[in-house]
C-alpha cells in the first residue's frame, strides 16, 4: 500500500484513463462531488502519422468532423437545388478540399482548447501520458518528461477504441481510416470504402456529395445491428445517388503503382472470383478495436473479452475498485451521449451518494448518410425475435418531403415505420425513419418512446404541417394488411 499522506493512503481518489467523452464527463463530475481526480490521455499516431488533442474520438475524428463534412456535402447539394427555386447559381461550383479540411481542423482545435480550459477551471488534473497498471492501485505513466508512478483508490477505464486494419498486404502501408480522413492533406479522389457499417456509409456519402467517387465494399450485410429493411433502403438510396456497392467481396491486397494509384485486388466470398481496380484512396471502415493492449490489465487482474472489458450494471469490472465506461465496455452502444451519461452517473454513484444506474435500452441514434436514417428502440427483427411475429404489428408508410418537390428530388426511399405491440395498448417498441434531418426528427420521439408511447397516443398527436416528422402521426397502414403504404395526398 502507498504511504499515508495528508490526503490519504493514495495520491488520488480517482484516476480516469482516457480523455474522451466518457472519461472527461466522469472526471469532471467526480471533482464536482469532491473527489481528487486525475485524467490521463494519450493518442498514439496512426500509421500515416495523424494525431490529435484532448477530447477523444468524437471531437477529433468522429461525430464532430463527420457531421461537419456531411453538412458540407448537403450544402453542395442544396446549391444545385437552389437553381430550381429561382436562385442564379454558377454551375461550376465545386468544393475546395484543403479549405474544408482547414476549417474543420480549426474548429476541432478550438474545441481542444476549450476542453483544456474547462478541465483547468473545474480543477481536474490532466496528464498527457500513456498509463499502464502495475497492480490494482498503481499505474506507471509514460510521458515526454519521463516515467511517473501514481496510485489511486479507484480507477475508471475509458480508453475507447481505434479503427481496425485488415491483415492483408499493403493495408497499413497504403490505406487510411477515419482517423486520417478528416485531416487528409490531399483530395481523396476515387476512394474505395471497405466496410458497410455506419462509419463506412457516412464517409462514402459525404465523399460523393463533395464530388469524389466512392465505392463501398460489403463483406456481408449493410449496417449490421440495425433494422435490415431500413439498412437495405439506405443502401438503395445511396446507389440511386451513384455510389456503387460491391457485395460479398473482401480485399486481398493493396499495391502502390508507380503512378501513385493504389491497385486493390479483391475476391468474391462465394464464387471465389478475383477482381482488381485502381483507386486514389483506400479507406478501411471494418470495425473498431478496444484499446486494452497498453493497459497491462493482467497486472490489475481485470478480465477482457474480445478486446473489450465486461462490466456489470454498475460499470464495475471483476476487480472491485476498477470500473469501465464508454466504447471500451463490451456489448453496449458505442455512442458519445451514452458514454457521457454513463460517465456522469458512475461518478455520482462513487462520490455523490447517488444510486442511479445507466439505462442502455432504447437509445436513439442517426446514421448521417446522404438520406439520413434514425431509429430508437427495437428493430423489426429484434421485436419479432423477442415477442414473436404474431405479437408484432408494423405500421409503415412512404412519404414525400415538401422540400423535395420543386427540385424534383427522388422520394423513392423516404420511408418510416413504427414497430409495435399487436394487441392491447399497442406499445411502440421501435421507431425508424429514413429522410431529411433524421436526427432532429427522432430525438423528440425517443423521449416519447422512453415514456411508454403507444400507437393510440401517436395517432392522436396532431402533427406540425408540412413537416416530415408529422408522418409518424399519420401512420395508419400495417404491413399485415397488405395495403399500399404510398400516400395519395400530403394534406388529407
Closest CA to 16 of 141, 158, 207: 158
53 annotated as belonging to a binding site for a ligand: no
Is 465 noted as a catalytic residue in this protein?
yes
433 annotated as belonging to a binding site for a ligand: no
SS3 for 82? helix
260 annotated as belonging to a binding site for a ligand: no
Closest CA to 332 of 309, 351, 352, 355: 309
Question: Rounded CA gap, 128 and 119, in Å?
Answer: 13
| Whether the Cβ atoms of residue 83 and residue 89 lie closer than 8 Å to each other | yes
| Whether the Cβ atoms of residue 56 and residue 23 lie closer than 8 Å to each other | yes
232 annotated as belonging to a binding site for a ligand: no
Task: Name residues whose C-beta falls within 8 Å of residue 121's C-beta, 6 or more positions apart in sequence.
Answer: none
429 annotated as belonging to a binding site for a ligand: no
Closest CA to 126 of 137, 111, 141: 141
What are residue 486's DSSP bridge partners?
A: none
452 annotated as belonging to a binding site for a ligand: no
Question: Rounded CA gap, 220 and 295, in Å?
Answer: 33
Maximum separation of any 2 CA atoms in the chain, in Å: 77
What's the helix, strand, coil split of the chain in %, to 5? 35, 25, 40
What are residue 365's DSSP bridge partners?
A: 375
Question: Rounded CA gap, 240 and 435, in Å?
Answer: 14
Give φ, ψ of 275 to 5 degrees: -130, 170
Closest CA to 99 of 110, 89, 107, 91: 107
209 annotated as belonging to a binding site for a ligand: no
195 annotated as belonging to a binding site for a ligand: yes
Question: Rounded CA gap, 352 and 368, in Å?
Answer: 37
Q: Given 80, 268, 423, 465, which residue is catalytic?
A: 465
Task: Name residues whose C-beta falls within 8 Å of residue 166's C-beta, 6 or more positions apart in sequence.
Answer: 194, 251, 284, 286
Task: Cell numbers for 180, please give them.
Answer: 486520417
| Whether the Cβ atoms of residue 369 and residue 378 lie closer than 8 Å to each other | no
Could you list the residues known to form a binding site for FAD, using ranges.
Answer: 67, 131, 327
Binding residues for NAD(+), as ranges, are 195-202, 287
Report the catalytic residues.
465
Binding residues, as ranges, are 67, 131, 195-202, 287, 327
Amino acid at each position: 500500500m502507498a504511504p499515508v499522506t495528508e490526503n490519504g493512503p493514495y495520491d488520488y481518489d480517482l484516476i480516469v484513463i482516457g480523455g474522451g467523452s466518457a472519461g472527461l464527463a466522469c472526471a469532471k463530475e467526480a471533482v464536482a462531488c469532491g473527489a481528487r481526480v486525475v485524467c490521463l490521455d494519450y493518442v498514439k499516431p496512426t500509421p500515416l502519422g495523424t494525431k490529435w488533442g484532448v477530447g477523444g474520438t468524437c471531437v477529433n475524428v468522429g461525430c464532430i468532423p463527420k457531421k461537419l463534412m456531411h453538412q458540407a456535402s448537403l450544402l453542395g447539394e442544396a446549391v444545385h437545388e437552389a437553381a430550381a427555386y429561382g436562385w442564379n447559381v454558377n454551375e461550376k461550383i465545386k468544393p475546395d478540399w484543403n479549405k474544408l479540411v482547414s476549417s474543420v481542423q480549426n474548429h476541432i482545435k478550438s474545441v481542444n482548447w476549450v476542453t483544456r480550459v474547462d478541465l483547468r477551471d473545474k480543477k481536474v488534473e490532466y496528464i498527457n501520458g500513456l498509463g499502464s497498471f502495475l497492480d490494482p492501485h498503481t499505474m506507471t505513466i509514460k510521458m515526454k518528461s519521463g516515467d511517473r508512478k501514481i496510485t489511486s483508490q479507484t480507477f475508471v477505464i475509458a480508453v475507447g477504441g481505434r479503427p481496425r486494419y485488415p491483415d492483408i498486404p499493403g493495408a497499413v502501408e497504403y490505406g487510411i481510416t477515419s482517423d486520417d480522413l478528416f485531416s487528409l492533406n490531399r483530395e481523396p479522389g476515387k476512394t474505395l470504402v471497405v466496410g458497410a457499417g455506419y462509419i463506412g456509409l457516412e464517409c462514402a456519402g459525404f465523399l460523393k456529395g463533395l464530388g469524389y467517387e466512392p465505392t463501398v465494399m460489403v463483406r456481408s450485410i449493410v449496417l449490421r445491428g440495425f433494422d435490415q429493411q431500413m439498412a437495405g433502403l439506405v443502401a438503395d438510396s445511396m446507389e440511386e445517388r451513384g455510389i456503387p456497392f460491391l457485395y460479398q467481396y473482401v480485399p486481398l491486397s493493396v499495391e502502390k503503382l508507380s503512378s501513385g494509384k493504389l491497385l486493390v485486388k479483391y475476391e468474391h466470398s462465394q464464387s471465389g472470383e478475383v477482381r482488381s481496380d485502381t483507386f486514389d484512396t483506400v479507406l478501411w471502415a471494418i470495425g473498431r478495436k478496444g484499446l486494452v493492449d497498453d493497459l497491462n490489465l493482467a497486472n490489475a487482474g481485470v478480465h477482457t473479452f474480445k478486446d473489450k472489458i465486461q462490466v456489470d450494471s454498475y460499470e464495475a469490472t471483476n476487480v472491485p475498485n476498477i470500473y469501465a465506461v464508454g466504447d471500451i465496455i463490451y456489448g453496449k452502444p458505442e455512442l458519445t451521449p451514452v458514454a457521457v451519461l454513463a460517465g456522469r452517473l458512475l461518478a455520482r454513484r462513487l462520490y455523490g451518494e447517488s444510486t442511479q444506474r445507466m439505462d442502455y435500452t432504447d437509445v436513439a441514434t442517426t446514421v448521417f448518410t446522404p438520406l439520413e436514417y434514425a431509429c430508437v428502440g427495437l428493430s423489426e427483427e429484434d421485436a419479432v425475435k423477442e415477442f414473436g411475429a404474431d405479437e408484432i404489428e408494423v405500421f409503415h408508410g412512404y412519404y414525400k418531403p415538401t422540400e423535395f418537390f420543386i427540385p424534383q428530388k427522388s422520394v423513392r426511399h423516404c420511408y418510416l415505420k413504427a414497430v409495435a405491440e399487436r394487441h392491447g395498448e399497442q406499445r411502440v417498441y421501435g421507431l425508424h425513419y429514413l429522410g431529411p434531418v433524421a436526427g432532429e426528427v427522432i430525438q423528440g420521439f425517443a423521449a416519447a418512446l422512453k415514456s411508454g408511447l403507444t400507437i393510440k397516443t401517436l395517432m392522436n398527436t396532431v402533427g406540425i404541417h408540412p413537416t416530415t416528422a408529422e408522418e409518424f402521426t399519420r401512420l395508419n397502414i400495417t404491413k399485415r394488411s397488405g395495403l399500399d403504404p404510398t400516400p395519395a395526398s400530403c394534406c388529407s
